[in-house]
Amino acid sequence: MKLDARRRGLGRLSTAIVAAGLVLILVQPAQAQQSDAPLGSPAATRAIDGLQLPAPGIPFAGKIEPNALQSTPFWQPRIAPPEGAPNVLLILTDDVGFGAPSTFGGVIPTPTLDRVAEMGLRFTNMHSTSLCSPTRAALLTGRNHHSAGFGVIAEQATGYPGYDSVITKDKATIGRILKDNGYNTSWYGKNHNTPGFQISMMGPFDQWPTGMGFDYFYGFMGGDTSQWTPGNLFRNTTQIYPYESETGFNLITAMADEAISYLDQLNTLSPSQPWFVYYAPGGTHAPHHPTKEWVDKITEMHLFDEGWNKLRDQIFANQKKLGVIPADATLTPWPSDLLKDWDKLTADEKKMFIRQANVYAAYLAYTDHEIGRVLDTVEANGDLDNTLIIYISGDNGASAEGTLIGTPNEVASFNGVNVPVEDQLKDFYDIWGTEYTYNHMTVAWSWAFDTPFKWTKQIAGYFGGTKQGMAVAWPGHITDKGGVRTQFAHVIDVLPTILEVAGVQQPAVVDGIPQSPIEGTSFAYAFDVANKDEPSHHRTQYFEMMGEYAIYHEDWMAVTKVQRPSWDTQGATNPDPAGKQTWELYDISKDWTQDRDLAAENPEKLKELQDVFWTEAKKYQVLPLDSSVATRLVEPRPSVTAGRDEFDLTTRMTGISNGVAPSILNASYTYTAEVTVPEGGGDGMLVTQGGRFAGYGFYIDKGKPTFDWNLVGLKQVTWQSPEVLSAGKHEIVFDFKYDGLGIGTLAFNSVEGIGRPGTGTLSVDGKVVATEKMPHTIPLILAWDENMDIGQDTGTPVNDKVYKVPFAFTGTIDSLKLKIDRPVLSDADKAKLEEAMKKASDN
């Protein structure tokens, strides 16, 4: 398969123009027509050179006389992609290790990924950034994740160009480029690339999918969501709650239904128009939410009964048999100093951990099955032969965020709370994976699913965090069906590959803004069987994530040794990540799995690569390095509520995201509600934030004023009046006095002062009716896929035993005010923390 030489030449010209910093404002002539319709007729189309987007119109070529009868109309021709441009189906699953799917040696059946690989090619040397938002930003823009503002996930954004979660206007996405070149563009599933502080019904919407070049969006905003009750689900920019009316709703199936319906409509109305579909399901990010049918099917296969050590051996053998790793590759050792061997577990631990793995595997198999339904639709519509299918298995390696023992509630683990195995067995075994859990498996399974590599998601230097299996098919064009490609590639290479195949150039100017150079390198050359052994065109690639970093350069890789295990989000961080580090060195050409550290043997090569890293880091906005993890979640950000401590929340509204809603974590606060209770009593929610897995609710329960804190699904702390409100007007006040230092300590990467105790007092009409001290408060984050709601509750209840959603208030909210008093560090405390940081850095 050979690509048109003209396309390649134009691509090089475009890159050269942008690299030179030239701004071209071009009046583009009409190109060769893409239809038989006369130019100027309603059916006429044209292609463009694509250097300036949107493309200028062509001069009016009709005739205008005083009378319309003597005049000739002229319609601007619709823009169409170059003749023969393929449809593009870009699939990206979530948190999938290299060794999980059957396509790359795993035991979990993924027949759709197998099908794509058998129609085309397996790429065994594709890399991610090791984390969700960063990989997706790189994929969409063709630039490195720091270049695109996503050095970390959106929820950890800080005020530096490489970390602010803003994709700047000089980096048009693949959606925008293809749309302006005549493609229909749509996006389904996860969007983790809108700044959290802009997820609001008030906008702005330019960083939402529809503002980034996608004609249609159906999916969820943020890192993950319940697949049963997705509280942050949107159609375009409108929040929707389909699970409230659909029995058995699951988002994995619903988004496939949505994509299928959209493709069918497009095939009916505009069958000749090429389309670009970005399909990004929540599977297999926690919570692992497959249907019972899939859990039963996987459980009956007994895939995990012999444990993770033997599973690694089995996957490794499968990988060699498939040829997806070299014959001389070695299996990295099991980290017995960090993770238990299977034969050292108790019977209860084995039982619970097998359950965790079965539900995870069911989730991956289920997700792959639903992707297969979309692919079936492409085939049924007659589009398969000219559809470029890129199926990337995971946006990073398998996740270790479930802790060493797994968790029924990921929100709990992110707040530093673990649920013992015996409690998991007793309270959660039968409901694991249902809407009543926000579940994640133990790290040990994640490590096994990253076979043959070491480490996991979040770890930037090791392939367990960054190596992703990828299958690429273009049935009418790629002839080496079932072939394997080993060239080094990175997610930034996907955009230039799509542009090359489509014959579309990188624009020099978009909306009048000069575009930065694409930083990826097309891997389309590898589609040709004649080039199967050609050296990679991508020769240098840096990696960095939360203060750990690495550099790949011409088949060598230098890596900073892991300072913080990926499951320890609460632990101490490196105070000087740019300073003293232990480095390792690997010759990837001879050591596919990073098993043999050559740093001591080859210090000159190590120094060479270290210098390359710092050059790349300065070039791509990687600095300043920051090793903090969980504490970054509560850093102040520039939302519409930033800097305020008093709020009038009287208007009933729903769907206020956590990134925009006022946060009462690590602070004193007072809610004051003035309500009118109807005859017969009042009932319902006044204000809530969060839900079943963490959050609070201020409501009236059968006439009794109540304030309820759900502490990560494990404990309820409730203040309630013993007396029922009479009909008429009342003032209800909940006042909370916090005992901690507050988030001021975060500037010093310290968790001291957060999640501390506090005392709450509930008053009705000036009389104290309930007082209780909370020994601990939630330190870092509420349920991220839930919202703040006023006057009712969307998503899940804060207290399942008391009410069901929507729990709309039956009376009138005359006034609802919130005042927050955030503690401020004294100068003496600041001096102490600065001194502690200096000592840590010196050591």
The span from the CA of 520 to the CA of 139, in Å, is 9
Over residues 409-432, the mean pLDDT reads 94
Q: 474 pLDDT exceeds 90?
A: yes
Among 750, 722, 734, CA closest to 818: 734
- Stated as kind and residue range, the H or E segment containing 711 is strand 704-711
Query: Sign of the CA dihedral 197, 200, 206, 210?
Result: positive
Over residues 145-172, the mean pLDDT reads 96
Q: What is the pLDDT of residue 35?
A: 62
Q: 97 pLDDT exceeds 60?
A: yes
Using DSSP bridges, classify how beta strands 812-821 and 540-545 pair: parallel, antiparallel or unpaired: unpaired
Q: What is the DSSP letter of 524?
A: G
Task: Out of 3.65.10.10, 2.60.40.10, 2.70.180.20, 2.60.120.200, select the CATH number for domain 639-827.
Answer: 2.60.120.200
Q: Dump pLDDT digits (tens) for 714-726.
A: 999 999 999 999 9
Q: At what angle do helices 347-380 and 292-299 cross, to 10 degrees?
A: 120
Q: Which two tokens stand for residue 496?
A: 């230039």
- 13: pLDDT confidence band, cut at 50, 70 and 90? very low
List, in sequence order, every residue forming a beta bridge with 80; answer none if it has no partner.
Answer: none
List, in sequence order, every residue forming a beta bridge with 708; answer none if it has no partner.
Answer: 697, 718
The span from the CA of 258 to the CA of 279, in Å, is 11
Q: What is the pLDDT of residue 828?
A: 66
pTM for this prediction:
0.93
Q: 4 pLDDT exceeds 70?
A: no
Q: What is the pLDDT of residue 839?
A: 59
Over residues 587-608, the mean pLDDT reads 97
Backbone angles phi, psi at 772, to 5 degrees: -155, 145
Cis peptide before 624 (omega within 30 of 0): yes
Q: What is the pLDDT of residue 25?
A: 29
Q: Dump pLDDT digits (tens) for 758-775.
A: 999 999 999 999 999 999
Q: At what angle do helices 132-141 and 494-502 cross, to 10 degrees?
A: 30
Q: Dump pLDDT digits (tens) for 195-208.
A: 998 988 888 999 99
- 742: pLDDT confidence band, cut at 50, 70 and 90? low
Q: Dump pLDDT digits (tens) for 363-416.
A: 999 999 999 999 999 999 999 999 999 999 999 999 999 999 999 999 988 888
Q: Dump pLDDT digits (tens) for 48-65.
A: 999 999 999 999 999 999
The span from the CA of 416 to the CA of 418, in Å, is 7
Q: What is the DSSP letter of 518?
A: P
Torsion from C-alpha of 772, 660, 235, 192, nearest 10 degrees: -100
Secondary structure of 442-505 as H, E, C letters: CHHHHHHHCCCCCCCCCCCCCHHHHEEEEEEECCCCCCCCCEEECCCEEHHHHHHHHHHHHCCC
Among 816, 783, 610, 679, CA closest to 226: 783
Q: Dump pLDDT digits (tens) for 660-675.
A: 899 999 999 999 999 9
> Do residues 527 and 477 make contact, with C-beta atoms less than 8 angstroms apart?
yes
Q: What is the pLDDT of residue 831?
A: 65
CB atoms within 10 A of CB 20: 9
Share of the chain above pLDDT 70, in %: 92
Using DSSP bridges, classify how beta strands 78-79 and 45-46 pair: parallel, antiparallel or unpaired: parallel
Q: What is the pLDDT of residue 500?
A: 98
Q: 755 pLDDT exceeds 90?
A: no
Decide if 550-632 and 639-827 have a common fold. Answer: no
Q: What is the pLDDT of residue 413?
A: 87
Q: What is the pLDDT of residue 829?
A: 62
Using DSSP bridges, classify how beta strands 646-648 and 668-677 pair: parallel, antiparallel or unpaired: unpaired
| Buried b / exposed e along 682-714 (16+ C-beta atoms within 10 A) | bbbbbbbbbbbbbbbbbbbbebbbbbbbbbbbe
The span from the CA of 549 to the CA of 584, in Å, is 11
- 781: pLDDT confidence band, cut at 50, 70 and 90? confident
Q: What is the pLDDT of residue 21?
A: 36
> Do residues 648 and 674 make contact, with C-beta atoms less than 8 angstroms apart?
no
Share of the chain above pLDDT 90, in %: 81
Over residues 722-732, the mean pLDDT reads 96
Over residues 17-46, the mean pLDDT reads 56
Among 465, 295, 304, 325, CA closest to 395: 465
Q: 246 pLDDT exceeds 90?
A: no
Q: 1 pLDDT exceeds 70?
A: no
CA 180 to chain centre: 26
The more confident residue out of 246 and 77 is: 77
Task: Out of 3.40.50.150, 2.60.40.10, 3.30.70.380, 3.30.1120.10, select the CATH number for domain 550-632.
Answer: 3.30.1120.10
Q: Dump pLDDT digits (tens) for 114-127.
A: 999 999 999 999 99
Among 629, 594, 294, 252, CA closest to 450: 594
DSSP 389-425: EEEEE-SSS---TTTTT-BSBHHHHHTT----HHHHH
Using DSSP bridges, classify how beta strands 238-239 and 121-127 pair: parallel, antiparallel or unpaired: unpaired
DSSP 221-285: ESS---SSS-TTEEETTEE--GGGTSTT--HHHHHHHHHHHHHHHHHHH-TTS-EEEEEE--TTS
> Do residues 124 and 485 make contact, with C-beta atoms less than 8 angstroms apart?
yes
> Do residues 130 and 545 make contact, with C-beta atoms less than 8 angstroms apart?
yes
Compute the C-alpha angle 438/156/568, nearest 5°: 60
Q: 514 pLDDT exceeds 90?
A: yes
- 575: pLDDT confidence band, cut at 50, 70 and 90? confident
Q: Dump pLDDT digits (tens) for 280-334.
A: 999 999 999 999 999 999 999 999 999 999 999 999 999 999 999 999 999 999 9
Domain parsing of the chain, residue ranges: 550-632, 639-827
Over residues 702-711, the mean pLDDT reads 96
Q: What is the pLDDT of residue 29?
A: 34
Strand, coil or helix: 641: coil
Mean pLDDT of the chain, nearest integer: 91
Compute the C-alpha angle 308/309/312, nearest 5°: 80
The span from the CA of 199 to the CA of 207, in Å, is 9
Q: Which two tokens stand for residue 839?
A: 């000592």
CA 118 to chain centre: 28
Q: Which residues lie below 8 Å from residue 227, measured CB to CB, with a gap of 6+?
A: 250, 251, 252, 282, 283, 287, 289
Q: 530 pLDDT exceeds 80?
A: yes
